[in-house]
Amino acid sequence: MDIRLRPHHGMCFQFYKGKGYSKKFTENMDDLLGRLSENNNTNITLTLSADSVCGSCPNNINGICKTEKKVSGYDRAVLEKCGFGEGQTIPYGEFISTVKSIILNKNLREEICGDCSWNEICK
């Protein structure tokens, strides 16, 4: 299973409530999160481009997010704060727990992505 994830999606996953941009998007998120939760040792590869979530997002225009500048900033902030690197492969459980302990538990999420259109869900 080849799963590529943008680093900021480590925050999104922890607040996901079945809402999304479209039915296709939420079906993909439900499937992806279901597969990952079945096995926390599944390796994921961190990417700064379209990932396994983005494929079903209506903001994905030919592999590039229409808010790329904004989400790239989110990604870089997560990489920096968590000590991850672009292209790094890591077990999903380790990725999620690191994002939670370093960013979410220290209330840094809003500093990173407080201008996101989904911000209200994450409060």
> How high is the pLDDT of residue 76?
97
pLDDT < 70 positions in the chain? 1
Domain with 85, as residue range(s), is 3-122
The SS3 call for residue 100 is helix
pLDDT for position 63: 87
Classify strands 3-5 and 43-46 as parallel, antiparallel or unpaired: parallel
Q: What is the pLDDT of residue 1?
A: 59
What is the per-residue pLDDT across 57-82, written as a single tens digit (0 to 9) for each?
A: 888 898 899 999 999 999 999 999 99
CA dist 97 and 74 (Å) reads: 18
> Scanning the structure block, which residue is given the tokens 């989110």?
74
The pTM (predicted TM-score) of the whole model is: 0.93
In this prediction, residue 55 carries a pLDDT of 85
Coil vs helix vs strand at 46: strand
Question: How many structural domains compose the chain?
Answer: 1
